[in-house]
């Protein structure tokens, strides 16, 4: 690398721009999981859960080789991200993109201070994950019966029973379990989803032992108003410190929805490098919100994440080149001299 690449140059001037703006403190090197709000009412620290390697790649048309997945995760491990969702221990019949879950789990570098959760839809998947070296798992519920049936072939109640088996085994082994609630702001089959239903499913997951509940706007239809209403209902049942939001950007609303959530005190945000992962319910639409765009906003608000934005952009550039696709991150598009990865 003889001359400074334009992306890095831009980074340097952007960092300069950021430092000058009075609202923005320079992100400290180490993460401080402080929960007290700033004078602005926002959390001082927000934990970013990177879902690109799992949720992202699972929803991309192109299946990437195992080595590429491992390299992506290794690059992400060096960015300061505190949690990276690695893979999913589901049958390769259902999710061929995650068929190499054992190899990926065993192949990645494990950085100290970084969590590497994996999806485990049932007890079989859980045991397979533990055997492959997993030290944290996630279970995925839904606030809509139709979505539960279409997505995981069982009712919400049946899925809860399966998850209880997982959390019981996990508790015996001191393995933390994270719970997701899909369709928190709308369902592709049922349309509207009642906030109390989201609260009810969240409570079931939390009561069975999930340490954190990630509320997913699965089809990205939510807006600040519906986000606020849903969170108000859920916060009656779950402590704020155990809540996360997983916003899809299908309708461009993700950052506004995330801002609304953090204004209410939510301090954990899921996102996907380069915005990997389209929406299976709206052809041609995007899905996950881009980690780079979230970090940009949080940096601008003076909120600490511990994450190096430039390093995430480089990892995003790597995976987009491998996928032969253009990044979905606007920050990355603006920062690299061309939007494409050719």
Positions marked active-site: 279
Token duo for residue 167 = 């959390």
* Sole binder of a second copy in the list 211, 225, 324, 339 (CB under 8 A): 225
Per-residue burial over 178-188, b = 16 or more CB atoms within 10 Å of its CB, e = otherwise: bbbbbbbbbbb
Identity of the residue, 168 or 228, whose beta carbon is nearer to a second copy in the bound complex: 228
- Of the chain, the end-to-end C-alpha distance in Å amounts to 18
Name the segment binding a second copy (CB under 8 A); options: 29-37, 167-175, 280-288, 316-324.
280-288
How far apart are the C-alpha atoms of 309 and 141, rounded to whole Å? 31
Minimal distance in Å, beta carbon 297 to a second copy? 5
Select the span of 86-94, 157-165, 201-209, 293-301 touching a second copy (CB under 8 A): 293-301
Nearest approach, Cβ of 273 to a second copy (angstroms)? 14
Which residues lie below 8 Å from residue 86, measured CB to CB, with a gap of 6+?
53, 54, 73, 104, 105, 108, 116, 117, 118, 134
Tell me the torsion sign for CA atoms 177, 181, 249, 14: negative
Integer CA distances (angstroms), 129 to 32, 137, 336, in order: 30, 8, 37
Write down the H helix ranges in the chain: 6-20, 57-58, 66-77, 101-107, 123-131, 145-152, 156-172, 195-207, 224-234, 254-263, 291-300, 309-323, 330-335
Does 253 interact with a second copy (rule: CB under 8 A)? yes
20 interacts with a second copy by CB under 8 A: yes
Distance CA 203, CA 239 (A): 10
Q: Which two tokens stand for residue 61?
A: 């048309």
Stretch that binds a second copy, among 10-18, 114-122, 142-150, 175-183 (CB under 8 A): 10-18
- Per the rule left: phi > 0, alpha: psi between -120 and 50, beta: everything else, 215 is beta
192 makes contact with a second copy (CB under 8 A): yes
* 75, 148, 299, 327: which one binds a second copy (CB under 8 A): 299
Instruction: List the structure tokens of 244.
Output: 């996360």
Among 79, 122, 138, 286, binds a second copy (CB under 8 A): 286
| Residue whose CB is less far from a second copy, 4 or 12 | 12
226 interacts with a second copy by CB under 8 A:
yes
- Scan for tokens 């209410």, then name that residue: 264
Assess 229 for contact with a second copy (CB under 8 A). Answer: yes
Give 1 or 20: the residue with its C-beta nearer to a second copy: 20
Q: By CB under 8 A, how many residues form the interface with a second copy?
A: 49
Among residues 21, 35, 92, 207, the one that binds a second copy under rule CB under 8 A: 21
Nearest approach, Cβ of residue 135 and a second copy (Å): 33
Q: Taking CA 215 as the corner, what is the angle to CA 149 and CA 162, rounded to the nearest 5 degrees? A: 45
User: Is 45 a binder of a second copy (CB under 8 A)?
Assistant: no
Under the rule (CB under 8 A), what is the footprint of a second copy? 13-14, 16-17, 20-24, 40, 186, 191-192, 220-221, 223-226, 228-229, 249-253, 255-256, 258-260, 279, 282-286, 290, 293, 296-297, 299-302, 329-331, 334
């Amino acid at each position: 690398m003889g001359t400074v690449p334009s992306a890095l140059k831009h980074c340097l001037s952007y960092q300069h721009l950021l430092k000058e703006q009075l609202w923005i403190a320079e992100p400290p090197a180490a993460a401080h999981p402080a929960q007290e709000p700033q004078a602005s009412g926002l959390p001082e620290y927000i934990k970013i859960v990177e879902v690109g390697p799992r949720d992202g790649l699972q929803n991309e048309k192109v299946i990437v080789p195992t080595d590429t997945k491992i390299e992506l995760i290794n690059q992400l491990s060096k960015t300061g991200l505190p949690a990276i969702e690695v893979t999913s221990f589901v049958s390769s019949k259902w999710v061929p993109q995650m068929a190499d879950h054992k190899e990926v789990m065993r192949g990645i570098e494990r950085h100290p201070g970084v969590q590497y959760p994996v999806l485990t839809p049932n007890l079989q998947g859980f045991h397979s994950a533990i055997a492959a070296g997993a030290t944290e798992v996630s279970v995925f519920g839904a606030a809509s019966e139709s979505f539960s049936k279409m997505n995981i072939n069982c009712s919400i109640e049946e899925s809860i029973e399966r998850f209880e088996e997982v959390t019981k085994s996990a508790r015996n082994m001191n393995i933390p379990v994270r719970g997701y609630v899909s369709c928190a702001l709308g369902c592709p089959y049922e349309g509207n989803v009642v906030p109390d239903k989201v609260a009810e499913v969240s409570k079931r997951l939390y009561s069975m032992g999930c340490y954190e509940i990630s509320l997913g706007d699965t089809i990205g239809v939510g807006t600040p108003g519906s986000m606020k209403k849903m969170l108000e209902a859920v916060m009656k049942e779950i402590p704020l410190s155990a809540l996360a939001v997983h916003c899809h950007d299908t309708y461009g609303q993700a950052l506004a929805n995330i801002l609304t959530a953090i204004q209410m005190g939510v301090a954990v945000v899921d996102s996907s490098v380069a915005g990997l992962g389209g929406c299976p319910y709206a052809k041609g639409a995007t899905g996950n919100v881009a980690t780079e765009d979230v970090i940009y906003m949080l940096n601008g608000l003076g909120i600490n994440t511990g994450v190096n934005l430039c390093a995430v952009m480089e990892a995003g550039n790597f995976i987009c080149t491998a996928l032969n696709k253009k990044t979905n991150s606007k920050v990355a598009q603006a920062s690299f001299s061309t939007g494409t990865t050719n």
